């Protein structure tokens, strides 16, 4: 006997609007009464504004309802509009269909893939053009319901980070190629490279195996549920690389300014 459906919370409704791919569904155990409870207090959304070109908070603005076929209370369509807190002319829209005991997202503007991909642009300093494109492609595939394929692209980004580290380390005079060649499994290689890799990656070295297991053993739907978790993991790794890059640039700028000041004082 299947467990009874649980009423969705306001936070679950927010995540559904922010993160759900097209045609994903949210259960409505009590039908329209469940949905009306959520629509009475629409949650604010945290999302990347494609016009401001930075993260923003979007507040609920309006909602229109239509019924199709007319007169038959079976399919309710909701056209929800949200506005950016920085500029009310910047909007997000959601088109939802309520039928029976489920709600589906059947339209969104801007597209989820475009919103998420735009927010990934900060990684262009630590990813090659090829792998940044692959990361955005992973988001696009997931947004269109392709689970395993989206994880394949995320796994390639992970592999690229490891390979880049190996390539840089292998030219160092202290690099022990013979010892490295003895390592068969990736988690052992990550441990070997731990002083050169982002801490989050080292602490979660089993992450690669989880993505691979998902690709080979899970259904498309299960892969789609895994994707946001995997993307968060990849982004956490890249965030640490971005922080290191920014710190290095700040140090170089500070050194240049100090040297310029020293020459000025000597003059």
Six token digits for residue 220: 């498309």
- Taking 50 as the pLDDT cut, the residues of the chain under it are 1
- C-alpha angle with apex 47: 42 to 48, nearest 5 degrees? 150
Q: Which uninterrupted H or E stretch holds 56?
A: strand 54-67
In terms of Cα–Cα distance, which of 138, 91, 105 is closest to 233?
138
3-state SS assignment for residue 84: strand
- C-alpha angle with apex 24: 19 to 28, nearest 5 degrees? 105
Residue 224's pLDDT is 86
Residue 3's pLDDT is 56
- C-alpha angle with apex 13: 71 to 62, nearest 5 degrees? 60
Can you give the C-alpha Rg of the chain in angstroms? Answer: 24
Q: What distance in Å separates the CA atoms of residue 147 and residue 218, rounded to the nearest whole number?
A: 9
Query: What confidence tens digit (pLDDT) does each residue in 89-131 have?
Result: 999 999 999 888 889 999 999 888 788 777 788 888 888 889 9
Domain extents for the chain?
10-116, 120-253
pTM of the shown model: 0.69
Q: Which uninterrupted H or E stretch holds 76?
A: strand 75-84
Q: Residue for token digits 């940044």?
A: 132
Residue 1's pLDDT is 46
Residue 125's pLDDT is 86
Positive or negative, the CA dihedral 240, 243, 248, 249 is: positive
Report residue 223 CA to chain centroid gap: 14
Cβ contact 97:76 at 8 Å: yes
Cβ contact 22:105 at 8 Å: yes
């Amino acid at each position: 006997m299947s467990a009874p459906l649980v009423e969705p919370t306001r936070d679950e409704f927010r995540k559904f609007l922010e993160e759900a791919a097209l045609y994903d569904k949210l259960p409505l155990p009590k039908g329209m009464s469940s949905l009306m409870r959520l629509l009475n207090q629409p949650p604010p959304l945290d999302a990347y504004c494609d016009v401001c070109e930075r993260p923003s908070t979007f507040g609920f603005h309006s909602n229109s309802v239509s019924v199709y076929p007319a007169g038959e209370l079976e399919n309710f369509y909701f056209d929800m509009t949200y506005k950016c807190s920085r500029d009310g002319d910047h909007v997000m829209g959601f088109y939802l269909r309520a039928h029976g005991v489920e709600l589906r997202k059947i339209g969104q503007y801007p597209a989820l893939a475009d919103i998420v991909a735009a927010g990934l642009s900060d990684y262009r300093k630590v990813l090659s053009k090829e792998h940044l494109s692959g990361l955005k492609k992973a988001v696009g595939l997931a947004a269109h319901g392709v689970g395993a394929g989206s994880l394949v692209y995320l796994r390639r980004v992970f592999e690229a980070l490891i390979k880049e580290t190996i390539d840089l380390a292998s030219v160092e005079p202290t690099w022990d190629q013979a010892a490295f060649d003895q390592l068969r499994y990736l988690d052992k290689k990550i441990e070997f490279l731990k002083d050169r890799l982002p801490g989050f990656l080292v602490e979660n070295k089993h992450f690669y195996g989880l993505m691979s297991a998902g690709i080979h053993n899970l259904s498309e739907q299960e892969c789609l549920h895994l994707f946001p978790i995997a993307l968060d993991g990849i982004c956490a790794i890249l965030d640490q690389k971005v922080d290191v890059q920014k710190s290095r640039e700040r140090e170089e700028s500070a050194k240049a300014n100090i040297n310029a000041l020293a020459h000025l004082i000597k003059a």
